[in-house]
Structure 1
């Protein structure tokens, strides 16, 4: 065999393993970025389903606090925040009632409608509902007629941001807010965010 033939064979022996290696590399799945928490897939939520004519408060509440008990002369909304323990979880209910005489519009800039934060008795943040979640970017508005109520429910399983179990008989402060903007207002309407302090040890089974 001539020198050219030997060189050709050597080149083949060198190129074939490289080609095979590239093929194996392409077959491996890519390492996608993972997100801890729920991912919204882009399905459009029907906000009208969250509007109720009358709030159902038939379930026993461990804690209940009505804010702004006296409606302001020019007030638009009446907010209400409550919490109860159910099946080892803290169930949080927030309602926003249109107490004005006209239809009010709340606009959301994404698929996120609300957020809530839970602090311990040292004012340390234990949990934030939206942390680790992704939301669709889409503007949507909801109209509230007079006396209609927007209702949101959130749950916390007494696990903190680091994945540690939290004493379910401790003292907590819950801050809840609607992430929308009220039409006709430059700033944030204070009725869209409220808080409540609770002491779970006072309600042992």
Structure 2
């Protein structure tokens, strides 16, 4: 698989996570999503591994299969906002909810 994930975090009053998945290969990659979520972000305590926040908690998603094809060089991008997080050190993990196992992580200090 030639998918290269990257996760960044911009910290203001809120934390904005940006997940970018790039097709770094020379052939198209088809992703199959089973619902409207597309990806999820989970934030853990850096020293406790305790789950502190999950973007998808409390949300409902359409239940429909959709296929997305990434041509070579194409990117899949999503942004997620963690509103008014408490101070601390965290590790955020983003994962596509497609049929491919694609994850990225970033350390965050607030």
Q: Same fold (TM over 0.5)?
A: yes
Equivalent residues, number: 109
Structure 2 CA distance, aligned partners of 1:145 and 1:131?
Answer: 32
The match for 1:173 is 91
The match for 1:193 is 103
1:154 to 80, 83, 86: 80
- Aligned positions of 1:1-205 closer than 5 A: 75-86=1-12, 88-121=13-46, 122-159=48-85, 166-167=86-87, 170-182=88-100, 189=101, 192-200=102-110
SS of 2:4's equivalent in the other structure is: strand
What is the Cα-based RMSD across aligned positions, in Å? Answer: 1.3
Report the alpha carbon displacement of residue 181 of structure 1 after superposing the two structures with TM: 1.1
In structure 1, the gaps of 5 or more residues are 1-74, 160-165, 183-188, 201-205
Report the alpha carbon displacement of residue 198 of structure 1 after superposing the two structures with TM: 2.3
Report the alpha carbon displacement of residue 118 of structure 1 after superposing the two structures with TM: 0.8
Structure 2 CA distance, aligned partners of 1:107 and 1:174?
Answer: 24
Report the alpha carbon displacement of residue 158 of structure 1 after superposing the two structures with TM: 3.2
Report the alpha carbon displacement of residue 136 of structure 1 after superposing the two structures with TM: 1.0
**TM-score normalised to structure 2 length:** 0.91
Structure 1 CA distance, aligned partners of 2:3 and 2:35?
Answer: 22
Greater per-residue helix proportion: 1
The match for 1:24 is none
SS of 2:26's equivalent in the other structure is: coil
Structure 1 runs of 4+ aligned residues shifted over 4 Å read none
Structure of higher CA gyration radius: 1
Q: Which has the higher contact order (CA 8 A, sep 6+)?
A: 2
**TM-score normalised to structure 1 length:** 0.51
